[in-house]
Amino acid sequence: MSNKAKTIIVGVVCFLVTIALIITIFFLAEINRKLQTPTNLMVVDNLPNGEILLQVDKNVNAEKYVFSITKNGKRQNLVSLNNFISATNYFEDAGVYKVACRVVGKTNASISDYCENVEFVVNIKLETPSVYLDKENDRLVFSTVTGATNYELIYGISQDGSIAKITESKYFGEMGKRYFDLSGLSKGCYSLRIVALGGEYEQSDFSAPIEYLKNEKLQAPTNVEFNNVDKILSFNSSWHKFLVVAYYDGTELTKTINIEDDKVEHSINLTEYLTNDLSKLELMAVGNSFDYTLNSDKVIWENA
């Protein structure tokens, strides 16, 4: 073989080797090329069966998709051969989750950056506290519920169902059983409900309404005096309705006397009711159900 032929053959071989090297380098560069960051990451939670899916746009160069879920600094990775994955079991606790995704190609070098985090908030409704009324001690007792950080007492619901009034959230007692003190409420009729609140949880339903009638005992009349000669009963009271019970000659006379004015100093002539001198007289202020008032203690006057 001539030198010229040898030279041609060597040149062809070198050319082919060069082409092969270029193709190999290009191929290796292609399979190790950094992949595009995933786009349109979504947390799909509106499926009819309650399933939660993580999903991104499909990448033709991806061999697998790595979805990361982070809550309170703790991270979990889910790997899928598809551009979506079911992640229902990873969102069982209430709180704020951060979800991200990256794609991986044929080698470890062909991998994308994580996409920007998507926040997903899970709200779990608190259990409704069980409630009962301790009428004797003017307390509304309730059970504490797991996850609750506060409780509110609602004592007025308007006709359209909206909250009319809310107390300051002050309650007492030990963990597990606490109570609201109702003694500070003014007289009236209340519909009492309790709601549990929690930082990472959705507030509970309102407890069933409990009717509470708060009465106010009237102050007993003061400075009670009776003149047996003129049959004049005098006393001080800002109330307007009184019951007088008179005792004389071994018999009893009972008469309810209504005073329509708002005088503080009262003077009542009992001549038309009495015939003899009294041995004892009882006087008390009489309450009204529509005023949510209870009868006062009795004040006794006795003939010296």
Q: What is 217-302's CATH topology?
A: Immunoglobulin-like (2.60.40)
Q: Cα 133 vs. chain centroid, distance in angstroms? A: 20
What are the sequence ranges of the domains in the chain? 42-122, 125-214, 217-302
What is the distance between the alpha carbons of residues 104 and 59, in angstroms, rounded to a whole number?
Answer: 10
Q: What is the pLDDT of residue 265?
A: 92
Per-residue pLDDT of the chain (304 residues; tens, 9 = 90+): 565 555 655 555 555 555 555 555 444 445 456 889 999 999 999 888 889 999 999 998 899 999 999 998 999 999 999 999 999 999 988 788 999 999 999 765 689 999 999 999 888 889 999 999 998 899 999 999 988 888 999 887 776 777 776 666 578 887 778 999 988 888 888 889 999 998 778 899 999 999 998 889 999 999 999 998 899 999 999 999 999 988 877 677 777 788 777 788 999 888 888 877 888 889 999 999 888 999 999 999 988 7
Q: What is the pLDDT of residue 126?
A: 92
What is the distance between the alpha carbons of residues 21 and 39, in angstroms, rounded to a whole number?
Answer: 35
What's this model's pTM, rounded to 2 decimal places?
0.57
Query: Which two structure tokens, joined as six digits, stand for 207?
Result: 């407890």
Q: Do domains 125-214 and 217-302 have the same CATH topology?
A: yes
Q: Which one of 3.40.309.10, 2.70.170.10, 2.60.40.10, 3.30.70.1400 gives the CATH number of domain 42-122?
A: 2.60.40.10
CATH H-level superfamily of 125-214: Immunoglobulins (2.60.40.10)
Q: What is the pLDDT of residue 298?
A: 95
CA angle 145, 151, 155 (to 5 degrees): 125
Q: What is the pLDDT of residue 188?
A: 87
What is the distance between the alpha carbons of residues 195 and 79, in angstroms, rounded to a whole number?
Answer: 41
Q: What is the pLDDT of residue 26?
A: 43
Q: Which residues contact 294 (CB under 8 A, 6 or more apart)?
A: 215, 216, 217, 218, 287
Q: Residues 264, 270, 272, 273: is their CA dihedral positive or negative?
A: positive
Amino acid at 280: K
What is the distance between the alpha carbons of residues 129 and 168, in angstroms, rounded to a whole number?
Answer: 18
Q: What is the pLDDT of residue 85?
A: 96
User: Smallest Cα–Cα separation from 70: which of 90, 99, 45?
Assistant: 99
